[in-house]
A and B are shown apart, each in its own frame.
Chain A
Amino acid sequence: MSEIIIQIDGREIAADEGMTVLEAAQKAGISIPTLCYLETLEPYGACRLCSVEVEVRGRTNLVAACLYPVEKDLIVRTRTEKVDRIRKVILELLLAHAPEARGLKMQEYAEEYGADKNRYEKEPSFCIQCGLCVRYCAEIKKKSAICFVNKGPSREIQFIPEIASKECWNCTECFPLCPTEYLQGVFVLTKALAFPSTPMGPSAE
């Protein structure tokens, strides 16, 4: 694989062809915040928290670092004022949906970027639509027991009882991935409504 030299925050960094900006930055020890990114899954680009400024041939653009492939002479800026402001607003919007989200790094990021969880009117849908649970189940476990249904403001995740009743109780690997606790809530609800008698958790074996 050929090596490409790019510049991130003023540092020259060697990256491999086919890498994303995020991967190149992580390799060089430069941290970019992410919510919907998981190393083992295909990049998805849902949360946009990883937004960075890139400059190609004199033009700057805002891109999602987890999706954007490295190219020759690329200049990346990960912490400009504009980038920070965008991340702050993204966090504030997400926090309006899940103000107490404890999972992953939501609160830490909120502090780092000075995001005010009360800035926008609360719309407690709890799910921030990162798709981690859906993708993990489909890509890693190959079970597809969770899916997104509907679209626009009514888009939500759903466990499919037909599959979940057989597969989930032994797995639950998606629970800790969820940046909020919505996923577990939905599972408990689905279980209570659709297959209440199935034992739950590895301890039930």
Chain B
Amino acid sequence: MNNDKIEQILNEHQGQAGALIKVLMEIQEENKWLPREVLVQVSEKLEVPLSRVLRIATIYKTFSLTPKGRYQVNICTGTACQVRGSQQVLEEVQKLTGIKPGETDPDMKFSLETVNCQGCCSLGPLVEIDGKTHGKTAPAEIADALKKYE
């Protein structure tokens, strides 16, 4: 956790209750998840009740209240990807990583999540690893793709 960076984000928005979502997003981006202590800090710095911080932090899928792995794996389960076989890809990834959607492996390497349409259906089934999009993934190829991440 990069405390200096988080502190900088908080200082920039001191007292700005309206910037709550923006601040949470920046911290999420920086730290990949939102630890409880940080939420308390956000509440104090922005002068927003902790209850509101928690409500916002739990309502959007963007925010994670549990630690995340180094690489985020998103598998699209939108209609087009579904038809093109995203379920098999998902099963293969689950088998390879040992985790289900919403979970993180014990080495903190991968976090798995299913997502909805990413807007490039012709590339389905779509897998996004650490921000990089892999299109037309076949279940057999996914092991190689995952191996590149350490």
A145 contacts chain B at the CB level, 8 A cutoff: yes
A158 contacts chain B at the CB level, 8 A cutoff: yes
**Across-interface contacts of A151 in B (CB, < 8 A):** 58-59
- Tell me whether A149 and B50 are in contact (CB under 8 A): no
**Across-interface contacts of B49 in A (CB, < 8 A):** 138, 144
User: Shortest beta-carbon distance, A140 to chain B, in Å?
Assistant: 14
CA of A149 to CA of B60, assembled, Å: 10
CA of A70 to CA of B123, assembled, Å: 54
- Tell me whether B40 and A147 are in contact (CB under 8 A): no
Interface range, B side: under 10
- Tell me whether B40 and A162 are in contact (CB under 8 A): yes
User: Shortest beta-carbon distance, A136 to chain B, in Å?
Assistant: 13
User: Shortest beta-carbon distance, A145 to chain B, in Å?
Assistant: 7
- Tell me whether A162 and B59 are in contact (CB under 8 A): no
Residues of B contacting A: mostly:
helix
CA of A143 to CA of B54, assembled, Å: 14
A195 contacts chain B at the CB level, 8 A cutoff: no
A62 contacts chain B at the CB level, 8 A cutoff: no
B47-88: contact bitstring with A at CB < 8 Å (1 yes, 0 no)?
A: 001111011001100000000000000000000000000000
B32-50: contact bitstring with A at CB < 8 Å (1 yes, 0 no)?
A: 0000000010000000011
- Tell me whether B58 and A145 are in contact (CB under 8 A): no
User: Shortest beta-carbon distance, A41 to chain B, in Å?
Assistant: 16
Residue in A closest to B55 when the chains form the complex, CB atoms: A147
Residue in B closest to A145 when the chains form the complex, CB atoms: B51
Residue in A closest to B57 when the chains form the complex, CB atoms: A149
CA of A162 to CA of B50, assembled, Å: 9
A36 contacts chain B at the CB level, 8 A cutoff: no
Instruction: Report the 5 A-B pairs with minimum CB-CB distance, sorted nearest first.
Output: A147-B51, A144-B49, A144-B51, A149-B58, A151-B59
Apart from A149-B59, A162-B40, A163-B50, list 18 A-B contacts with CB within 8 A.
A134-B51, A138-B51, A144-B51, A145-B51, A147-B51, A147-B52, A147-B54, A147-B55, A148-B55, A149-B55, A149-B58, A150-B58, A150-B59, A151-B58, A160-B51, A160-B54, A162-B50, A163-B51
Residues of A within 8 A of B (CB): 134, 138, 144-151, 158, 160, 162-163
